[in-house]
Amino acid sequence: MAEPIAPARRAASIEYAVRDIVLVAREAQAAGRELLYLNIGDPNQFDFSTPPHIVEAICRAVRDNRNSYAPSEGLPEALEAIRASSEQHNGIRAIRDVFVGNGGSECIEIALAALVDPGDRVLTPSPGYPLYPAVLAKLGAQEVPYFLDETNGWQPDLEDVAAKIDERTRAIVLINPNNPTGSVCEHQTLERLLELADRHGLVILADEIYDKLVLEGRHISIASLSDELPILTFNGLSKAYLGPGLRLGWCVVSGASQRLSRYVEAVHKFLRARLCASHPVQHAVRPALLGDQSHLEQTRAKLRARRRLTVDGLNAIEGIRCVPPRAAFYAFPSVLGIDDDERWVQQLIRETGVVVVHGSGFGQRPGTHHFRVVFLPPEQTLRRAFAAIDRFARDHRDRAT
């Protein structure tokens, strides 16, 4: 009999908790539970939809047969709009290159593929978004998590960052605003990260996909604070423009051009090797970034109300503590008195149908336990979910004692 096909060894290290947990949810559903989804950061699965002028631009492009391949780096008019918006909205001055990809995810993957060799080290935030460890595992590079400090509003722990840099470290990933904590970096934190990057010759990969979904305070793009250091800033249509399934993201490369030119050339080789990003969707970039922005304030207003309900609802539960998020649509509460958050979350899903993601799927300090809540669902769903989590946490404690 023919042998089963052996998968590549690298597959063993690929995990993506946000989607992996859905398998447990399906089991619970098959057993008759009604599910309340608080697990996926996709606004369009709830009461948010892509603004009509963006939809219309895409439909028109498809109808007008803009369905050929596009230039590998992107359509000139889309690249110009990204450049203009990055200058005006984000204050990035020293822009050396702009490219688009099929989602911010593809841009991030290409940026890393063109940068790191097997064995190189990349600092990533913990907690952070699981795409980074997955891509680094594919590339054979080493992910080196640095901690965010829960006692300091989840700011990057700069001493930890400094302690983890060595001669194989090539880059530091900054997710600002952060997924899964909803935190926003302070000005001083950014300045100190720039100092560290400068001292050690690191590239900064700044994931700012939630920059327009700041609910409290102000977001500062790290690239606006330096015209010299090599910084790649990622963004896209998925979150602020309410189109995650459109799969269109971009990267703005800034810094001193003599340091960047060889790297940018390598990035473009990878861009050409995958042909191009979706052509018709690129026609929506200009209207999205430079057209009507009124959906943003409406989106933020809804999210602010849901955030308040989430923080109050979670903090009212004994044994759960939630640092108020300041941006995006995530909260990352800690659970006291448990020793395995993945098991706790699986039990929660099976017993209540409330689907959240365990903290260990995003990384966390050893000995701490969390779960990620997505507060995109309508208020009524959130209220039901927090009441169910409260009952579950109480039962769980009773059973443990």
Give the residues lining the site for ligand PLP (CB under 6 A).
41, 103-105, 129, 131, 175, 179, 207, 209, 236, 238, 244, 249
> Is 236 in a helix, a strand, or coil?
strand
319: left (phi over 0), alpha (psi -120 to 50) or beta: left
We find the least distance from the C-beta atom of residue 178 to ligand PLP, in angstroms, to be 7
One DSSP character per residue, 319-356 reads TEE-PPP-BTTEE--EETT-S-HHHHHHHHHHHH-EE-
For the CB of residue 250, give the shortest distance to ligand PLP in the complex, in Å.
Answer: 9
CB closest to ligand PLP, residue no: 103
Tell the smallest beta-carbon distance from residue 18 to ligand PLP (Å): 8
Smallest distance, ligand PLP to C-beta of residue 206, A: 11
Q: How far, in Å, CA of 397 to CA of 338, rounded?
A: 9
Nearest CB to ligand PLP, comparing residues 131 and 184: 131
d(CA 53, CA 51): 6
Short-list 91, 377, 71, 45, CA closest to 208: 91
DSSP state letter for 367: T
Q: Which is nearer to ligand PLP, 263 or 329 (CB)?
A: 329
Residue with Cβ nearer ligand PLP (215 or 317): 215
**CB 359 → ligand PLP: shortest distance, Å?**
15
Taking the complex as a whole, the smallest distance from the CB of residue 242 to ligand PLP amounts, in Å, to 12
Of 243 and 333, the one with the shorter C-beta distance to ligand PLP is 243
Cβ closest to ligand PLP, residue 73 vs residue 390: 73
Nearest of 135, 202, 203, 192 to residue 159 by alpha carbon: 192
DSSP H helical segments within 36-186, as ranges? 52-63, 76-88, 104-113, 131-139, 158-164
Instruction: Please tell me the distance from the alpha carbon of residue 219 to that of residue 216, in angstroms, as a whole number.
Output: 9
Name which of 94 and 243 has its Cβ closer to ligand PLP: 243
